[in-house]
Amino acid sequence: MKAGIVGGGAVGSLFAAFFNSAGIASSLYEKDSILAVAMAEGLSVNMPDGELVFRPDIASDPEIIAASDIVFLFVKSYSTDEAMRDISPVLKDGSIVVTLQNGIGNREIIERHLPAGRVVCGSVTIGATRIDATSVAYGGSGSVVIGGPDRGAVEAVRSLLERAGVPVETHERPDEVIWRKAVINAAINPLGALLGIPNGKILESPDALILQEFIVKECALVAASRGISLDAREMVEATREVCRKTAANLCSMLQDLRAGRRTEIDSINGAFARFGREAGIAASYNEAIYRLVRAAERPPAS
């Protein structure tokens, strides 16, 4: 099977490297034409076993992924609908779209464009940091968890990822997987972004750890109001384990703030704050950290 990737950011580039190393044919659609041209000249990915330099099959025209059997969406959550409008007309019949994106609501957006059976969703906890336009660093070990309504589609994605050497498992309740990842992101990304530190440094700050625990507990209450049962204590430990495993990684939210880009805070802490309001649950910590990140995105004029 041929893989397609939408989004040439840090994680998209990392997966392109996984496929390249395994000899799996893959193409990459990156809407930013300047970035696509730069990456076409050569992409350097610092992998655990050394540096990999290769030339990805990349273009700023969605036709580049027209022959792909499985397409991985690695755009920011706020760009999901735009990306699907771009690629839907060129996707071949029966192709599968996989979302491992941050945030809540991506699957629902994708299903506005494709039948649910062609959508596989889940999470990825493998970190990656963009160094510059053509360089990416592996940010820490992790895995992929996927699921979906069509068992055949899920198994096809699992098989492809296994061939690429990516640790992968399937889950009967992928929405729970997505919410678990959203809780972990909500308790790591804004802290790393606002403090300007890699994930592992959060563990060295007693105050950050207290705030992290409050965020997780709040998120678990909100999740329960949406029919997602999460154990708050277990989620705190899972969050800190991700911090340990991706200790050197600069979270995507920190990378975005430093680059002057919009973050995904709306679909992470912003979503928990919004769902909390709808359910009559006070999600004050999520609301506060959401507003702080939004303020950092739009600093006052000097």
Annotated catalytic sites, by residue? Answer: 181
- Residue 201 tokens, joined: 């440094």
How far, in Å, are 189, 238, 297 from residue 149 at the CA level? 30, 26, 37
- Residue 96 tokens, joined: 């599968």
- Residue 294 tokens, joined: 């939004």
Contact, 6 vs 87, CB < 8 A? Answer: yes
**DSSP labels for the chain?**
--EEEE--SHHHHHHHHHHHHTT--EEEE-S-HHHHHHHHT-EEEEETTEEEEE---EESSGGGGTT-SEEEE-S-GGGHHHHHHHHTTTPPTT-EEEE--SSSSHHHHHTTTS-GGGEEEEEE--EEEEEETTEEEEEE---EEEE-S-HHHHHHHHHHHHHTT--EEE-S-HHHHHHHHHHHHHHHHHHHHHHT--HHHHTT-HHHHHHHHHHHHHHHHHHHHTT----HHHHHHHHHHHHHHTTTPPPHHHHHHHTT---SGGGTHHHHHHHHHHHT---HHHHHHHHHHHHHHSPPP-
β-strands 43-47, 135-140 pairing: parallel
